[in-house]
Structure 1
């Protein structure tokens, strides 16, 4: 069973994918270049075909970027909710937030929390604005700690 540290959770959603931005920029630049070439010489049909191909590529890359943007926005929201939970729990148990580990990177019902070797099961209300925790025991103490990747 994997448990994640606060540092890992805080850095979890901060992965940037600049490759898609570069590809989109190159496709847009190529589309602009081919469009200008086509407007200068309308009789050459290969430019028209290239415009259609590049337009489809730009539409595909735009869709991928929008999907990535939506996922990143969702990850940032989940990370901030988890960070707020960990800070609240650390105040309740009077332990620094860096010494708390969870078995999930986002808030969910029944998640486990490791506070200096003591395990707690956490339950939330319907809209995840309040929580209860009670001490629990693991059947297997085979715990893997996942920390921030350096």
Structure 2
């Protein structure tokens, strides 16, 4: 079973966004290169055809990026809520934030929280403003903690 530290969650919030920005920048550089080649040799249709193909590819990738942007935006807001949740758990139970581990990278009902070497199932209310913890036991005790050095 995988658990995550707060440091891991915070550090990986922007990783997907960075990858998408780099992909779009590379695509724009390639599009500019094809445009320059076409404008330099307007008589050669191979650059025009390559440019049209790149334009179609760019539009498809732009659509995919837009859909992923909305998904990542939702995940980011969920992970922000998880950060506040972990901080609240630490405060309510007098433990260090670093000692609280969660089984999900976004706030969701049914995830497992571990602190003081005990596991708890999280039950959230409908608007995610309050929670209850229920002592639970995991079946597979082989645990991997993401974010530990």
Instruction: State the TM bucket, normalised to the shorter chain.
Output: 0.7 to 0.9
**TM-score (ref. length: structure 2):** 0.81
Counterpart of 1:24 (choices 15, 22, 27) is: 27
Give ranges in structure 1 of 5+ residues lacking alignment: none
- 1:32-68 deviations in Å (ceiling 9; x for gaps): 3145246xx3x54334323311211222332343344
SS in 1 for 2:114: strand
The residue number in structure 1 matching 2:7 is 7
TM-score by length of 1: 0.80
Please tell me whether the aligned partners of residues 82 and 107 of structure 1 are also in contact (alpha carbons under 8 angstroms). yes
Asked if 2 retains the 8 angstrom alpha-carbon contact of 1:5 and 1:145, the reply is no
Counterparts of 2:80 and 2:24, CA distance in 1: 25
Q: Which residue in 1 is equivalent to 2:143? A: 144
Bigger radius of gyration: 1
Give yes or no for contact 1:34–1:50 (8 Å, CA) kept in 2.
no
- Maintained 8 Å contact 2:31/2:51: no
How far the C-alpha of 1:124 sits from its partner, in A, is 0.5
Corresponding residue number in structure 2 for 1:115: 115
Is the Cα contact below 8 Å between 1:4 and 1:146 reproduced in 2? yes
Give matches, 1:88-127, under 5 Å.
88-127=88-127
Unaligned runs of 5+ in 2: none
**Root-mean-square deviation over aligned CA pairs:** 2.4
Q: Which whole-Å CA distance do the structure 1 matches of 2:49 and 2:24 have between them?
A: 24
Shift of the alpha carbon at 1:93? 0.7
- Alignment correspondent of 1:59: 59
Maintained 8 Å contact 2:34/2:47: no
